[in-house]
Chain A
Amino acid sequence: MAQASGKSAGKSSFGRFGVHLAVLFFVTVWTIPTLGILVSSLRDKDQIIASGWWNSFASSSQTEAGRLPAASAQVEKDGKFVIEGNLFDPPGSREISAFGMRSQAPTEFPAGTVAELKDGVTLQVNADGTFVLASPTKFEGERGQRVYYAASAPPRFTTENYETVLLSEGIGRSFINSLTVTIPATVIPIMIAAFAAYALAWMKFPGRALLIAVVIGLLVVPLQMALIPLLQLYNGVGAFFGVPSKTYLGIWLAHTGFGLPFAIYLLRSYMAGLPRELMESARIDGASDFEIFIKIVLPLSFPVLASFAIFQFLWVWNDLLVAMVFLRTDADQLVLTARLNALLGSRGGDWEILTTSAFITIIVPLIVFFSLQRYFVRGLLAGSVKGG
């Protein structure tokens, strides 16, 4: 963005370098959180808990336990009884750095050394997972020797987490639910608000000023005010007609209601700014308000309609409160945000599930945001107040 020279006043004393550094600092702090879940969602689930995501390109080291084969696998070799094999299947998939025989000291011996165990038994575990257990006396017993080792795995990136979440954690289903809620709840208010905004901007009727004041007042009414009465109303209507009270129709209309003040406010201020001559010349040509609205005002208002659409889309898609109150909480109707909230409760520490689900819930808003940023900013600047 080309900046006017006047704005760079004081360049010398601030130091250009310092400015770059400061901005870089803010950008880093603001980007890292999202980056963290994106990277984690693509990592192997064992690696997520083994090392921080910022280490995901390095090999991750994990302490594991294994059991050597039982006595039946022994062979006699040079007067000793020997059990040989490989800890890994397939061999060489991981690398061992150290091993041990006790859980308290899982990395007592570096890989490759011959560890002296009791009664003259020796164990050698190599980096590639091969081991040699040797004893002067015959091995006995059904269970093999327990062994601990620190193995490092090369970084592994995968889309398995996405498959898991989409298919078995219900995220796929919720994704569709979210779309089902969001699209009508975005389209319906635009239409209703556009007509109202035109009337409030260009038609003369008694009570108009009062209506505008009411709309502006309603901009800041907390959503919480509406919840209990609407819940009661929905229950009443549901009981009266013998239909369920928590329906998609109910939530579409609720989002329409909550979005309307902002929509009317935003569209009205834009439409009021259109040139008066345009309407007047059309009126002289005999056009009715309906025709003026459809043929002149609506096409001219495209930018502001788009910016409201983005607002409403993001707001509805990201909403948790309205969905939790007006939709059922079973898999049938659970939207993405509510599903994610439920997963936080049920899959608390399973970060492969949580990071992947979180990324799926934010991917649509991010796409909308990046592709339509221009309109989003325009709406912000025009409205800069959104009940949300």
Chain B
Amino acid sequence: MAAQLFSAILVIIVGVGGCVAYFWGANRLLDIVFPSRGVSGGTAVDNLRRQGLIRPWLFVGPALIILIVYLIYPVAQTLYLSFHDRGGETFVGASNYAWAFGDREFRNSILNNLLWLLVVPAACTFLGLIIAVLTDKIWWGTIAKSLIFLPLAISFVGASVIWKFIYEYRGEGQVQIGLLNAIVQFFGGAPQVWISLPFWNNFFLMMILIWIQTGFAMVILSAALRGIPEETIEAAVIDGANPFQIFWKIMIPQIWGTIAVVWTTITILVLKVFDIVLTMTNGQWNSQVLANLMFDWMFRGGGDFGRGATIAIIIMIAVLPIMIWNIRQANKEMGGH
């Protein structure tokens, strides 16, 4: 352990030191090759211009290389692989896609994913909004917010263990140590094996993500609510609006943009969520989703890269509209900057 820790520290020093050495060294080199001080005026101007051409690339260079290797090239390569067989060598046309849409498990994953996409972002945004509005009204709101925000720091695997404990099942009449079954049994119901209940188990898995993400929605929406000018609300109060009218007709329209951001962010997250399904059911009992199915095919039977890549591409296609919208939105905001 000590040796391992030592090597980790060493690598941090080497890695960070390497970064520092690169940035400092490259910039120093540029100053030496094209000096702008201690040379004649004309040369200095020329050299400054040359520095101005080169230096930005010294700054963005490392980032650019890493982005290309780790994100841009893989997108292209995954697209390429999705048209090839399991080893990635023989071109097979669209047969992976044909397989996907003919496969019962894949269609089941798509349906489950749609269910997740309908429920989770909506539930998180809705609950987040309600909690944001309510906590703004009370003196211990900040503490309450912190506690609801807290699950955001917990890993999906950790959260899965936490909830698996809540869903723990014992036979009828036995002492239940799972909270949910204990409550059900207390009210005279029969305990259930929640995570293998067909169809409904999806919701018990979604609950975990909702539990984690509501805090995120709450924080963002709470900030947006605080940004609403007080005059508009006061005016509505004077006009005799009731709290629900104020909420729906005054507050909601003003934070509509933020709601959209929260919604889309959680939507993207839902498409990629893999850990919860892996740890809770690993896709058994009809709870499979695309991200987990993709992971599954990456390693199933030694790995089918063609099918895995195809599923990744389908996830990507689902994200694409959001990506385009994001870029447009950002371009609009940056305007002339």
User: Would you give the shortest CB distance from A215 to chain B, in whole angstroms?
Assistant: 7
A49 to B175, CA, bound (A): 9
Known: A222-B315, A229-B74, A320-B156. 8 other contacts (CB 8 A): A30-B148, A37-B162, A48-B177, A196-B64, A222-B319, A225-B315, A324-B295, A385-B268
Contacting residue for A27 out of B147, B182, B236, B319, CB 8 A? B147
Which of the segments B4-12, B95-103, B114-122 contacts the partner chain? B4-12
A316 to B63, CA, bound (A): 19
* A19-B134, A226-B74, A355-B165 as given contacts; A384 in contact with B150, CB under 8 Å: no
Contacting residue for A23 out of B1, B11, B138, B236, CB 8 A? B138
Please, which residue of chain B has its CB at the minimum distance from the CB of A18? B134
Question: Are B67 and A257 in contact (CB-based, < 8 A)?
Answer: yes
User: Would you give the shortest CB distance from A179 to chain B, in whole angstroms?
Assistant: 7
Contacting residue for B70 out of A4, A179, A254, CB 8 A? A254
* A199-B56, A252-B15, A358-B162 as given contacts; A4 in contact with B157, CB under 8 Å: no
Residues of chain B with a CB closer than 8 A to A211's CB: 60, 64
Question: Are B66 and A256 in contact (CB-based, < 8 A)?
Answer: yes
* A260-B66, A361-B158 as given contacts; A187 in contact with B137, CB under 8 Å: no
Please, which residue of chain A has its CB at the minimum distance from the CB of B324? A217
Question: Are A253 and B11 in contact (CB-based, < 8 A)?
Answer: no
Q: Does A81 contact B (CB under 8 A)?
A: no
Q: Does B206 contact A (CB under 8 A)?
A: no
Encode contact with A along B115-159: 1 for CB under 8 Å, 0 otherwise. 000000000000100110011111111101011111111111111
User: Would you give the shortest CB distance from A337 to chain B, in whole angstroms?
Assistant: 4
Encode contact with B along A160-202: 1 for CB under 8 Å, 0 otherwise. 0000000000001100110110011001100111011011100
Residues of chain A with a CB closer than 8 A to B309's CB: 228
Please, which residue of chain B has its CB at the minimum distance from the CB of A179? B8
Give the one of B57, B73, B165 with max A CB within 10 A. B165
Which of the segments B104-112, B196-204, B274-282 contacts the partner chain? B274-282
Residues of chain B with a CB closer than 8 A to A377's CB: 219
Q: Does B308 contact A (CB under 8 A)?
A: yes
Question: Are B8 and A184 in contact (CB-based, < 8 A)?
Answer: yes
Which of the segments A101-109, A134-142, A365-373 contacts the partner chain? A365-373
| Top 8 closest pairs, chain A to chain B, by CB | A257-B70, A10-B243, A318-B155, A196-B63, A6-B230, A199-B59, A229-B77, A369-B153
A48 to B170, CA, bound (A): 13
Residues of chain A with a CB closer than 8 A to B295's CB: 224, 321, 324
Please, which residue of chain A has its CB at the minimum distance from the CB of B178? A52
Contacting residue for A222 out of B31, B55, B272, CB 8 A? B272
Question: Are A23 and B144 in contact (CB-based, < 8 A)?
Answer: yes
User: Would you give the shortest CB distance from B298 to chain A, in whole angstroms?
Assistant: 6
Please, which residue of chain B has its CB at the minimum distance from the CB of A385? B265
Question: Are A351 and B177 in contact (CB-based, < 8 A)?
Answer: yes
Question: Are A385 and B157 in contact (CB-based, < 8 A)?
Answer: no
Question: Are B136 and A3 in contact (CB-based, < 8 A)?
Answer: yes
Please, which residue of chain B has its CB at the minimum distance from the CB of A383? B265
Residues of chain B with a CB closer than 8 A to A218's CB: 67, 71-72
User: Would you give the shortest CB distance from A355 to chain B, in whole angstroms?
Assistant: 6
A365 to B155, CA, bound (A): 8
List 23 A–B pairs whose Cβ atoms lie within 8 Å, in order of A's numbering. Answer: A3-B137, A9-B237, A19-B138, A23-B144, A37-B162, A49-B177, A192-B62, A203-B59, A204-B56, A219-B323, A221-B323, A224-B316, A225-B312, A226-B75, A228-B81, A289-B59, A317-B155, A351-B177, A355-B161, A362-B153, A365-B153, A366-B150, A385-B268
Residues of chain B with a CB closer than 8 A to A319's CB: 155
Q: Does A79 contact B (CB under 8 A)?
A: no
Question: Are A212 and B330 in contact (CB-based, < 8 A)?
Answer: yes
User: Would you give the shortest CB distance from A190 to chain B, in whole angstroms?
Assistant: 9
Question: Are A384 and B220 in contact (CB-based, < 8 A)?
Answer: yes
A258 to B63, CA, bound (A): 11
Q: Which of B1-35 contact A (CB under 8 A)?
A: 1, 4-5, 7-8, 11-12, 15-16, 19-20, 23-24, 27, 31
A366 to B151, CA, bound (A): 9
Question: Are A225 and B74 in contact (CB-based, < 8 A)?
Answer: yes
A340 to B164, CA, bound (A): 13
